[in-house]
Structure 1
Amino acid sequence: MTGRTSQQPAAKSARFWRPRILHFEFVAGVFLTGSLGLLVLFSGLLFPGGGETIDLAARLTPPFVSTGHILGTDPLGRDILERIALGGRVSFTVGIFSAAGAVFLGTIVGLFAGYYRGIWDVFIMRFADVQLALPFILLAITVIAIIGPGLDRVIILMIVSQWVQYARLVRSSVLSLREREFVQAARSYGLPDRKIIFSHILPNALGPLIILVTLNVANNILLESSLTFLGLGVDPQVPSWGGMLSEGRNYVQTAWWITVFPGLAIMLTVLGLNLLGDWLRDQIDPLGKTA
C-alpha cells in the first residue's frame, strides 16, 4: 500500500509536466537557444585560435566549399564559424548580465516603493516615467560619446536604462499583494517588514519577472548587436555578431555569407529566447494563453 501511494504523486507529476515540456515552443526554444549557447560556451575549446587566425590564401572562401571553413571566410581569411562561436560570448554576456543587473536593481526599488509608498514611491515613479520617455538609442549615443565604447559600459548602460521596467512591474504586483490576507496575517504575527517583503511578497511576484527577464535577454542581444554595428558597442577588434555585420556590409553583393550567418545567429538566438518566454507566460498565466 505504501509503495503504491508513493508512486501516485510521481505519476501525477509526470502527467502534469509531460504535455508542457513537449510543447512546441519549449522544445524549439530549448533547441535553438541551447545549441547556440553550447557552441558559444565551448568556443574556447573548439576554436583555440581566438577567431583572429588570418589566412590570406583562403580569403573570401564561399561556404560549404572547404571542409576547413564550413561557413566560409571573411576578407582576411578568418573562419566565419569560428568568429560566430567566439563572437557569441559578447552577445550572451551582455544579454545575461545586463538583464540580471536590471532585474536586481529594479526589483529592490519596486519592492520598497510599492510596500512603503509615500513620497519615495511618488519620486521614484516620476523619475521612472521621465527615463522611459527617453529613446534608448539617443541615450546610448550620448552616454557612449562621453565615456567611450566598451563591453562593461554597454552592460552598465543597459542596466541603467532598463531597471525602471522591473521596478514598475514589481511595484504594481506589490501594491496588490500587500493587501492580501497572508500578508495581513504576517503583520499580525509581528513579523518584520524585511521578512514580509522577501519571504511572502517577493516569491509571489516572481512569475512576471521571469517572463520579462527572458524577453529582455533577447532584446539586449539585439541592442548590443545594433550598438556594435553602429560603432558604439564593444571594441571592433573583439569578435562579435554586430561587429561581423558591420565588417561584412561592404561585401553583401560579392560575399553574402559574411553578414548572413552572423545575422542568422542573432535571429535564431532571439527567436529561441522569445519562444521560451512565450512558453513561460502560458505556464505562469494560463488565462492569458494565446492560441
Structure 2
Amino acid sequence: MLATLETSLASRRRTSLWAVRNVELFVGLLLTGVMVIAVAFSGVLFPDGGESMDLATRLMTPFTSAAHPLGTDPLGRDVLARIVVGGKISLMVGFLSVLGGVTLGTLVGLVAGYYRGIWEMVLMRCADVQLALPFILVAITFTAILGADVYKLIFFMVITQWVQYARIARGQVLALRDREFVQSARAIGVRDAKIILHHILPNALGPLVVLITLNVANNILLESSLTFLGLGIDPQIPSWGGMLADGRTYLQTAWWINVFPGLAIMVTVLGLNILGDWLRDFIDPTGPM
C-alpha cells in the first residue's frame, strides 16, 4: 500500500510539473510571438517606418491621444511605431548573429572533436585566443576601423561568439565518436562527412538548440547595449538600443521615450528565456517531461 501511495504521489508530481511546463511554453510563445508578429507586419502597420515628424505634437505624454498611444519623442515621432519598426533591426541582429555563430562554431567543433590531433589543437587554440580577447576593447576597435552598420555588427557578433558553440559541439562529439553506432558506420565504409552529418550531428544538437534560444535573447540585449554606447547600429536607423540612447537626456521630463523601448526588450528577452528553459527541460531525458 505504501508503494502504491508513493507511485500515486510521484504521478501527481509529474502531472503538476507537466502542467507548469505547458504554462511556461504558452507564456514564452505569447510574449515572443506578439513581438515577432508585430515586427513582421511593421511595414503594414506603420508604412512611414516611424519617421514621420510633427513638432506640434513633440513629447506628447502616453495614453492621451489615439494617434500616439505611447506618446511621441522630441521630434514628434510616434514611440509605438518606432518600437515596432526598431524591433525589426534588433530581432534581425539577434537571430542572424546566432545563426552565423552556431554554423561556424558547430562546424569547428565537429571537425576538432571527430579528427582530434592537429585539427583539434589548432582549432581549440584559436578558440582560446578568442576567449582571451577583451570584448569591449575588440568592439571599440572593430567599430573604429569598419564603422557602425547592421551587417558589420552581425559579423562582429559571429566572430566573437562562435567559440561557445564550438566547445559544446566538440564535447558532444567526443562523447559520441566512439559509440557503437558510429563504429558500425565506420566499419561498413561510410565516409567521415556522412558520419559527422547524419550520425553525430543529430545526436549533438540538444544542448546547441537550447544555447541558440538563450543566445538570441542575449544578442538582442547586446545589440541594444552596444548601440546605446555608440558601438552598434547607426543612430539614424531605428532600433531599441538607439531609442534608449536618444531618450537618456529626457529621463526626468519624458520618461516614456526610454521606458517603453526598455519594456519591449524585456518582454522579448523574457519570452525567449522562458522558451529556452522549457526547451532545455523538454530535451533533457531525465527531466519531468
Instruction: Provide TM-score, normalisation by structure 1.
Output: 0.91
Give the aligned residue type for 1:274. N
Contact 2:148 2:234 in 1 (8 A): yes
Q: Counterpart of 2:150?
A: 151
Is 1:88 paired with 2:95?
no
Corresponding residue of 2:4: none
Give the Å deviation of 1:70.
0.2
Any unmatched runs of 5+ in structure 2?
1-14
Which residue is equivalent to 2:132?
Answer: 133
Give 1:134 shift: 2.0
Pairing of 1:20-59 with structure 2 (within 5 A): 23-59=22-58
Residues 113-124 of structure 1 mapped to structure 2, 5 A cutoff: 113-124=112-123
Matched residue, 1:13 = none
Work out the CA distance in 2 between the residues paired with 1:20 and 1:273: 19
Which residues in structure 2 correspond to 1:1-291 (within 5 Å)? 19=18, 23-287=22-286
CA contact (8 A) 1:21 1:27 kept: no
Q: Distance in 2 between matches of 1:24 and 1:118?
A: 47
Q: What runs of 5+ residues in structure 1 fail to find an aligned partner?
A: 1-15
> How far apart are residue 195 of structure 1 and its match?
1.0
After superposition, the C-alpha distances for 1:179-205 in whole angstroms (9 at most, x for unaligned) are: 101001111111111111100000000
Question: 279-288 vs 176-185, which deviates more?
Answer: 279-288
- SS, match of residue 286 in structure 2: helix
| Cα gap change, 1:289 to 1:226, in 2 (>3 Å) | farther
User: C-alpha displacement at 1:34, in angstroms?
Assistant: 0.3
Question: Is contact 1:281–1:289 with CA below 8 Å preserved after alignment?
Answer: no
8 Å CA contact 2:87–2:240 kept in 1: the answer is yes
AA aligned opposite 2:222:
L
Measured at CA, do residues 24 and 248 of structure 1 come closer, stay the same or move farther in structure 2, by a change above 3 Å? same
1:231-274 Cα deviation digits (max 9, x unpaired): 11111111110000001000000100000000000111111000
Mapped to 2, the partners of 1:99 and 1:250 lie a distance apart of 32
Deviation by residue 1:208-252 (Cα, 9 ceiling, x = unmatched) = 110011011111101100111111111111111000000100000
Please identify, of 204-213 and 279-288, the stretch whose mean Cα deviation from structure 2 is larger.
Answer: 279-288
In structure 2, distance between residues paired with 1:132 and 1:230: 22
Q: Identify if the C-alpha distance between structure 1 residues 42 and 21 changes in structure 2 by more than 3 Å, giving closer, same or farther.
A: farther
Structure 1 CA distance for aligned equivalents of residues 194 and 118 of structure 2: 23
How many residue pairs end up in the alignment? 273
8 Å CA contact 1:99, 1:159 repeated in 2: yes
TM-score of the aligned structures, taking structure 2 as reference length: 0.91
Q: What's the CA shift for 1:145?
A: 1.1
User: 1:287 Cα shift?
Assistant: 3.0
- In structure 2, the partner of 1:7 is none
